[in-house]
Amino acid sequence: MKRSKNISKKEVANLVGVSASSISRWSKHGDFPKPFLLGQNKIFWDKDEVQEWIDNKKKVRGFLGYKPKNN
């Protein structure tokens, strides 16, 4: 049997390392992949889309504006 690639908000939050409320906020603002509805009250994200988002974030490295002081 093929394992599902659909993951819950809690699983997404654990994968990304942030709170579930951050996932909701990011999705609402378009900064994160959108969830989809499976059934009346079942909201999921596609694991491949989330992983692709993570991979794209890894391409941009550094502190993005933070400049450490030289000693």
- Over the chain (71 residues), the average pLDDT of each successive run of 10 is 82 97 96 93 95 92 67 55
The pLDDT assigned to 11 comes to 97
Give the neighbor-by-neighbor strand order of the sheet with 43-46. Answer: 6-7, 43-46, 36-37
Asked, for residue 71, whether it belongs to a domain, the answer is no
Asked, for residue 19, whether it belongs to a domain, the answer is yes
Asked, for residue 65, whether it belongs to a domain, the answer is no
Buried residues in 3-32 as b, exposed as e (16+ CB within 10 A): eeeebebebbbeebeeeeeebbebbeeeeb
The pLDDT assigned to 12 comes to 98
The pLDDT assigned to 62 comes to 75
**Number of domains composing the chain:** 1
